[in-house]
Each structure stands twice: as C-alpha cells, then as structure tokens.
Amino acid sequence: MKGYRFVIVFVLLVLVQIVLCNFLNLSRYAVLSYLPVLILMLPVRWNRIVMMLFAFALGFLVDFFSTGMLGLTSLALVPVALSRGLVVAGMFGDELGSREGELSLSRFGLPKFALATLLLCALYFIVYVWADSAGTLAFWQCALRVLLSVLVSTPVCLFIATILRPE
C-alpha cells in the first residue's frame, strides 16, 4: 500500500514539476526544481545503473513536456543519480541499504537530510546552469544563479520529501 502511494505521489509531483517549469518563472537568476529530491527518495535497493537510466528518462520527460531544451534536465539529473549512492552512504551510513529501509526526513533528521539534499541540488544546478548558459554568462553570474537556485529549491525539496514519505 505504501509502495502504491509513493508511486502515485511521485507521478503527481513530476506533473507538478512540469507545470512549474512551464508557468513559474521566479527570476533570471533563480530556478525552482525539486527533481534532485525525487531521485534521492527513490528506493535505496536500486543500483546506480537503474538509477541513472531512470533519471535520464525523468529528465527527458520533464524537458519534453515543458518549454525547456530537450536533454538539459537529463544532463543535470544523471550526475545526481550517479552520486546519490555516495551521498546516502556518507550522510546516512551503509546500514541503510543492508536494513532494506527507505529514506525519510523524519527518520534521519532535518540536518542530515537537508545537507544531503543541498549537495544534490548544488550538483544538479551547477550542471544545469553551466549547460543552460552555454558560455554566454560570466562566471560570477553563473555562480549567483546556482546559489540562488539552490537556496530557493532546497527548502522546497525538503517539503517535497515530507510529502513523498510522511512517516
């Protein structure tokens, strides 16, 4: 039952992300995206290859249905999926996988979860902004855009995490 709920909420959140991409423009220097936390919240037993393929497909889906450029979100999300295992092992320990448990904010606490989310968001937005600017923005402009996007998106990601797994 928990599994079905997770899938339904996940799909709904993807649809909401597509809507946000199409209609929400915060600023030239801020992008709102909670896709990194969707990747973080995927089942721990998934291996990296499956995780990367899923991230690629998810990014393709979001790009396809939004006004963004095809391939941009996939490009940024695949590194998140690759590094997700390292972040989880570093932040929450190896026993998470062996206990067949799942990630949740309430289980591991806000600081650890927020730091893990922050790292993945930072990685996501570094790649995203770098590819999106295509060499047309100066370094400090790109850095500002990454910083603001991470600051805006991380709290939203934490909120999304509570929706996905409320326990």
Partner 1 sequence: MAKGRSVYAGIITAAIFILLEFAALSMLHSSSTLQNIWINRFSHNVMARNWGAVERIRGFFSLREQNEILAGRNYELFKEVQHYKELERSLKAMAKLDSAGLAPRFNYIPAEITAMGTNSRHNYIIIDKGSIAGVHEGDCIVTPNGVVGLVYSVDKHYSYGLSLMNERVSVSARIGREGLVAPLLWDGKRSDHVILRDIPLHLDIPAGDTVWTSGISKIYPPDIPLGVTEGVRLVDGAIGVVDVKLFTDLASLRYVIVASNPDRETIEEMSR
Residue ranges that bind partner 1, judged by CB under 8 A: 48-49, 52-53, 56, 59-60, 63, 69-72, 74-75, 78-79, 82, 131, 134-136
In the complex, the smallest distance separating the C-beta of residue 16 from partner 1, rounded to whole angstroms, is: 23
Cβ proximity to partner 1: between 134 and 138 the closer is: 134
In the complex, the smallest distance separating the C-beta of residue 84 from partner 1, rounded to whole angstroms, is: 12
The conformational region for residue 24 under phi > 0 = left, psi -120 to 50 = alpha, else beta, is: beta
Cβ proximity to partner 1: between 29 and 60 the closer is: 60
Q: Which among 53, 58, 76 is positioned nearest to 150, based on CA atoms?
A: 76
In the complex, the smallest distance separating the C-beta of residue 8 from partner 1, rounded to whole angstroms, is: 27
Q: Name residue 27's beta-bridge partners.
A: 30
Cβ proximity to partner 1: between 71 and 90 the closer is: 71
Token pair recorded at residue 10: 């996940």
CA dist 161 and 34 (Å) reads 9
Token pair recorded at residue 113: 């979860």
Cβ proximity to partner 1: between 8 and 69 the closer is: 69
| Segment holding 135, helix H or strand E | none
On whether the CB atoms of residues 78 and 55 are closer than 8 A, the answer is yes
In the complex, the smallest distance separating the C-beta of residue 1 from partner 1, rounded to whole angstroms, is: 33
